[in-house]
């Protein structure tokens, strides 16, 4: 018998390996709460610690289904102390049989049975922090080894939960960002939004009635915060169907912001929350680190530069534009601003150094 949580986790990991997003698949799971929680823990744990698990398992050339069953079993044995080892082993054996890889059942059984939890000597930092080698090398070059290690460690931990709330309440701890509270207990009746995402909106210095052009708005987290602060928001995106329903009230425009914008008026505030690699969100979206290629950064940069150039054209005299990403890579941040932003003041939040996801933001004022 395979438990529903493990079967779901295996199927999700298989689909993620083929390009789907774990968070979307987990959101639409048809499981009771306890199973859904375990499935989520397994999926994120395996994706976050993939390089560590593969190293401990030590079997690189196997079919995907077999590798996934081994990672799932190894994660439970090495990192979850409440799961009996025999359950983790036997369910991974059943998972390979269910995936029609019966011939690998003996191997999965033998490999998992010899695994023991406990500290381990890792062969290199990329394995220790479960990051692709190229990403570790570039973080060290950009931030130095100590900060890179803090960022990498943070990407292995489940993200803390932050919410927007009107004031202090049981289970909420205030933060340095106004209106942003750390949720110490769940569930909370308030809308969840990472502290870094809420912080980006503060840089817009929104006052009630100010007109804000939000050029990359979907799914709408920052739009929602700007609306709460009293802005009149024009929410635009290439894929507006991704915009959350609760934003239906504000004007919405489907557009490609790399092209000339369709507005005759200029805006006092503009937010370019650009499409990016998302390397600041590896704790939340761990599949990114296994999917991203170094060459993707230049493609993203071209798009980001094009969007920022169009945005600057729409900024009113005396206006304020915020360019932001949840990327930690300078190609998507400082370089974009240097190529298209003009004079800017830049800010950064780093995972493991600051609370929440990593964010970069540049504030550009019109002359
Ligand atoms: C980082 S997400 C925005 C997140 C959003 N601001 C929030 O806080 O919920 C980037 C968005 O840019 C959109 N996008 C990508 N290319 C675009 C383009 N050429 N023009 C406009 N939007 C684009 C994507 O559809 C995606 O929704």
Total structural domains in the chain? Answer: 4
Q: For ligand 1, is residue 246 a contact (CB within 6 Å)? A: no
Are residues 89 and 39 located together in one domain of the fold?
yes
Residue 129 CA to ligand 1 center (angstroms) comes to 29
Query: Using a 6 Å cutoff on CB, does residue 280 contact ligand 1?
Result: no
Whole-number Å distance between alpha carbons of 316 and 176: 30
Query: Do 201 and 227 reside in the same domain of the chain?
Result: yes
Length of the chain in terms of residues written: 367
Ligand 1 pocket test: which of 216, 260, 273, 301 has the largest number of ligand atoms within 8 Å of its C-beta?
216
Do 102 and 92 touch, CB atoms closer than 8 A? no
Residue 123 lies in a domain: no
Same domain, 234 and 185: no
Name residue 320's beta-bridge partners: 269, 365
Residue 220: CB within 6 Å of ligand 1?
Answer: yes
Q: Does some domain include residue 122?
A: no
Same structural domain for residues 310 and 323?
yes
Catalytic residues: 326
Per-residue pLDDT for the chain (367 aa), expressed as one digit of tens each? 899 999 999 999 999 999 999 999 999 999 999 999 999 999 999 999 999 999 999 977 899 999 999 999 999 999 999 999 999 999 999 999 999 999 999 999 999 999 999 878 999 999 999 999 999 999 999 999 999 999 999 999 999 999 999 999 999 999 999 999 999 998 899 999 999 999 999 999 999 999 999 999 999 999 999 999 999 999 999 997 777 776 777 889 999 999 999 999 999 999 999 999 999 999 999 999 999 999 999 999 999 999 999 999 999 999 999 999 999 999 999 999 999 988 899 999 999 999 999 999 999 998 7
Tokens in use for 266?
């200029």
Clarify whether residues 100 and 136 are in a common domain. no
Range of the domain at 15: 4-113
> Which atom of ligand 1 lies nearest, measured to the CA of 197?
8
| CA gap 284, 22 in Å, rounded | 10
Distance 122 CA to ligand 1 centre (A): 38
The answer to whether residue 270 is domain-embedded is yes
* CB-ligand 1 contact for 201 (6 Å cutoff): no
Residues 173, 140 within the same domain: no
Query: Which CATH number goes with the domain that contains 250?
Result: 3.40.50.150
């Amino acid at each position: 018998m395979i438990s529903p949580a493990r079967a779901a986790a295996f199927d999700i990991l298989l689909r993620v390996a083929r390009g789907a997003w774990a968070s979307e698949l987990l959101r639409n799971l048809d499981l009771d709460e306890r199973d859904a929680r375990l499935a989520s823990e397994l999926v994120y744990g395996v994706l976050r610690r993939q390089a560590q698990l593969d190293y401990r398992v030590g079997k690189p050339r196997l079919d995907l289904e077999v590798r996934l069953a081994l990672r799932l079993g190894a994660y439970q044995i090495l990192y979850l102390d409440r799961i009996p080892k025999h359950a983790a082993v036997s369910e991974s054996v059943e998972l390979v049989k269910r995936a029609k890889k019966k011939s690998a059942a003996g191997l999965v059984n033998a490999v998992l049975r010899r695994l023991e939890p406990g500290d381990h000597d890792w062969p290199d930092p990329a394995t220790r922090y479960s990051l692709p080698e190229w990403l570790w090398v570039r973080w060290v070059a950009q931030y130095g080894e100590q900060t890179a290690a803090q960022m990498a460690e943070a990407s292995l931990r489940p993200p803390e939960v932050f919410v927007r709330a009107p004031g202090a309440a049981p289970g909420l701890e205030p933060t340095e960002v106004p209106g942003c509270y750390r949720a110490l207990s769940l569930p909370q009746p308030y809308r969840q939004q990472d502290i870094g995402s809420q912080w980006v909106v503060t840089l817009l210095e929104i006052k009630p009635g100010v007109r804000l052009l939000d050029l990359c708005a979907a799914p709408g987290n920052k739009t929602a915060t700007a609306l709460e602060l009293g802005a009149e928001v024009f929410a635009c995106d290439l894929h507006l169907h991704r915009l959350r329903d609760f934003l239906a009230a504000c004007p919405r425009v489907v557009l490609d912001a790399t092209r000339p914008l369709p507005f005759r008026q200029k805006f006092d505030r503009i937010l370019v929350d650009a499409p990016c690699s998302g390397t600041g969100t590896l704790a939340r979206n761990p599949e990114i680190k296994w999917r991203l290629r170094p060459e993707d950064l230049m493609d993203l940069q071209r798009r980001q530069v094009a969007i920022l150039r169009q945005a600057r054209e729409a900024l009113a005299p005396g206006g304020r534009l915020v360019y932001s990403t949840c990327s930690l890579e300078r190609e998507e941040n400082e370089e974009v601003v240097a190529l298209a932003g003009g004079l800017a003041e830049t800010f950064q939040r780093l995972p493991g150094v600051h609370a929440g996801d990593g964010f970069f933001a540049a504030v550009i004022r019109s002359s």
